[in-house]
Structure 1
Amino acid sequence: MNRSRKAWLLLGAALALAACDSSTGTAEISTPPATPVAARADTAATGPEVVMYKSPGCECCSKWADHLKGSGFSVIEYKRDDMDAIKATNHVTGKLASCHTAIVDGYVIEGHVPAADVERLLKERPANVVGLTAPGMPMKSPGMQSVGQKPEGYDVLAFDKDGKSTVYHSY
């Protein structure tokens, strides 16, 4: 094998290995996966699996994921550049939007919704509800507040496929 070809093969192998490196804790993909690929999952978790889509630079989203993991959820994170499309696909209108969008057991969770509300949603399974949202980025919500602080001063809303919402829980 000539030297030039060997160099190209070694470079290709190195790039393939680098692409498999998951040290960043997230996977970058161009469209929402039909079947999630494990990215940053907590294998010790026993609760439902949450697939979260977030903008690449957002750190509060990972803090929210840690909050869910603390309540037993398994969380897989995807860094995405097309969050507007993900929100539109999941019936999240502008007034309901926050920084990240998650899917758990067929429900949409938008933003910093406390784990207790997600657990209640999964237990009650209210009719016509697409998901829950904590619109905007409430400063005293999980992932935004100091660890151990209780949520305070905002509403979690339940919403339907048309974007109509009602208060699900007030903090």
Structure 2
Amino acid sequence: MNNVVIAQGAARRTWVLLASLLFAPVVSACSEPGPQSMADTGADAEIVVYKTPYCGCCHKWVEQLERDGLAVDAVNVQSTASIQTELGVPTSMRSCHTAKVGDYWVEGHVPPDLVEKLLEDKPEGIRGLAVPGMPVGSPGMEGPGAEPYDVMQVHADGSASVYARREGREFAPE
């Protein structure tokens, strides 16, 4: 039974990835180009989220941050790769959106309460938090077959360890 659930989650992530690859060129051709590096935005918000304009789960994640009272500036870009490289996000930790949070980066579907904790605690020795991939049930990716997932912290030396473990949600909080 567990193997079936794992296979379903993997299939769902594969479908989301394939859909974004198939439809991105069509939508991208119709959208305005956005800034391609952090220097291109004059955002004063404590959290600046770099995302593509055609990604629905990124939009849902930003909405959850705002619903939790966080000041967010969402910046549409054609690709987050240059931002991820500029911030030093390891390839293995990359996801669909990247945020600059104070002196840290946050990659992917990190729960809003952990983003708040990062801002409050300002831990030394870590560069950022990440939820690698797009686990079903993470904030912005809620849905049937939600699965537990790890929020990783990336240390200054490039190593990573589990920062928190969360149970996935079937439905988005309101």
Q: Does 1:167 align with 2:162?
A: yes
Residue in 2 that maps onto 1:73: 70
From the superposition, tell whether residues 50 and 164 of structure 1 become closer, same or farther in structure 2 (CA, over 3 Å): same
From the superposition, tell whether residues 106 and 27 of structure 1 become closer, same or farther in structure 2 (CA, over 3 Å): farther
Counting only pairs closer than 5 Å after superposition, residues 56-135 of structure 1 correspond to structure 2 as 56-135=53-132
Residue in 2 that maps onto 1:141: 138
Say how many residue pairs are matched. Answer: 134
Q: Does 1:32 align with 2:38?
A: yes
- The CA deviation string for residues 16-64 of structure 1, in whole angstroms up to 9 with x for no partner, is xxxxxxxxxx9822332365347xxxxxxxxx73100012321110100
CA contact (8 A) 1:91 1:161 kept: no
TM-score by length of 2: 0.69
Superposition RMSD in Å: 2.4
Q: The residue matched to 2:126 in structure 1 has which SS?
A: coil
Structure ranking higher in helix proportion: 2
> Aligned residues: percent identity?
38
Q: Which moved more, 1:119-128 or 1:28-37?
A: 28-37
1:49 counterpart (36, 46, 50): 46
TM-score by length of 1: 0.70
CA contact (8 A) 1:92 1:163 kept: no
Greater gyration radius: 1
Unaligned runs of 5+ in 2: 1-31, 167-174
Residue in 2 that maps onto 1:14: none
- Following TM superposition, the consecutive aligned residue runs of length 4 or more in structure 1 with deviations greater than 3 angstroms are none
Unaligned runs of 5+ in 1: 1-25, 39-47
